Amino acid sequence: MCSRRERLARLRVFVRSCLGQTMPPFVGSASIVPRTSGQSPSKSTRSAVWSLSRTAVLLCCALTGSAIGCATLMEPLGGPRTVRPTALHVPSPLDADDLSAESSADAASLPTNETAPSSQTVDVVDSTAKEGDLKLGKRDLSQAPNNLWKALKPSNDRDWSPDQAVLPWAEFHGNEVTVHNIRFCKYRTAEDYTVDYYDATYNLDDLETIDLIAMPFLASPTLAHMMMSFGFRDGRYLGVSVEIRKEKGESYAPLKGVMRQFELMYVVGDERDLIRLCTDHYLNGVYLYPVLASKEEVRAVFVDTMQRVNKLRSRPEFYNTFTNNCTTNIVRHFNRAGYRKIPYTYEVLLPGLFPELAHRLGMIDTDLSFPQTKLNARINRLAYLYGDDPDFSRKIRMNWPCRR
């Protein structure tokens, strides 16, 4: 169990990431120096008060789901402003070995029993994205009316980024389900890729496993992207990633996610797309955790997930950084499926900590301690080695040869 001080420290990292500024080290701790009579507040004290005020408004916006307080969060109103430099990722020796071992062959062909209805080559030059999309800098207030108008109602009819232009959907026929528009992008770089889609039919009786896949952010490991992957008896795997649906030139920012500026999307994709994008191009650590669940529970989670995919196709929703994100949706799927109750704790608010919560609840299929489990779960090296292997999904699970 984490101590109260450690929890406060983790929460401070999360708030700092949302605000895009450096918070004084004493915020959230008991080391505040009292102010003597007649002494004006120091710069660090004013910065702390400003940070806490902005945090309060941010949380209020998250709870109300509205854009009220937008102007307050856009500009510091004379408050202090410190911009954090972007963290530089230096690959570890292990990553260097992985990169040298990566094959230069083309991506593996699609499975023979699956069809590819469409293909599109995209060379994205994100010249319209501004630094303010990534961290809180000065914003053009003339855009506020458009942003507020956009926040009134979610839509599936916008100028979407090419890799998110097509929505998936599932068609149930008795004990079989056909999943349409499974994405399989071939990436030359993170911005230069060919978009492919294929359809696949699965027998629900063949569902066997669920895996949780965590991708911590480089600058703030307490923040992460979470995905699910469903395994079938015939060796196929289907990944599901709950994401913002980006418009062209748009990028993720936690604050915009609070102010109803993103729609929610379920990307149903090939593991070679979803995983290799992070291991090969974003250079994120990727961790695969096998979930301890019965076949009935796996089936219930899968069906509930596909029903949600279909619902979003006809009734779009807004993404919310706190209440409607990747991790909260995964938790809802497990809870609605009758799986063991997953509580909504701060580890759900900070997705980088969710694997530790899952381990503590007995969800991970292992008897190892969490540090050992996390070491086994890292699949970057295997993804580099077998990136072009048709048996990619099985080989990245070599660290988990036996499941209970």
pLDDT tens per residue, range 6-34: 766 766 665 565 544 443 333 333 333 34
Q: Exposure string (b/e) for 49-84, b if CB count within 10 Å is 16 or more?
A: ebbeebbeebeebbeebebebbeebbeeeeebeeee
Q: Are 243 and 251 in contact (CB under 8 A)?
A: no
Nearest-angstrom CA–CA distance, 125 and 119: 19
* pLDDT (tens digit per residue) in 127-173: 333 333 334 334 444 455 566 777 789 999 999 999 999 999 999 99
In a domain, 48, yes or no: no
Tally of domains in the chain = 1
Examine residue 64 and state whether it is found in any structural domain, yes or no.
no
The pTM assigned to this predicted structure is 0.69
Report if residue 82 sits inside a domain.
no
Alpha carbon 222 to its chain's center = 12
pLDDT exceeds 80 at position 117: no
For residue 81, being part of any structural domain is answered with no
User: 94 with 375: CB under 8 angstroms?
Assistant: no
Say what angle helices 295-314 and 326-336 make with each other, to 10 degrees. 130
Q: Is 189 inside a domain boundary?
A: yes
Cβ count within 10 A of residue 85: 7
Contact 222, 352 (CB under 8 A): yes
From the list 239, 178, 181, 170, the residue with the least C-alpha distance to 203 is 178
Q: Is 283 left (phi over 0), alpha (psi -120 to 50) or beta?
A: left
Q: Is 72 domain-assigned? A: no
Identify whether 117 is part of a domain.
yes
Between CA 182 and CA 200 the distance in angstroms is 8
Q: Look up tokens 């990727």; give the residue.
A: 286
pLDDT band at 82 (very low <50, low <70, confident <90, very high): very low
Is 385 part of a structural domain of the chain? yes
Residue 382, token pair as written in the block = 């295997």
Task: Give the structural domain span for 322.
Answer: 93-395
Q: Is 67 helix (H, G, I), strand (E, B) or coil?
A: coil
**Helical H runs in 163-209?**
none
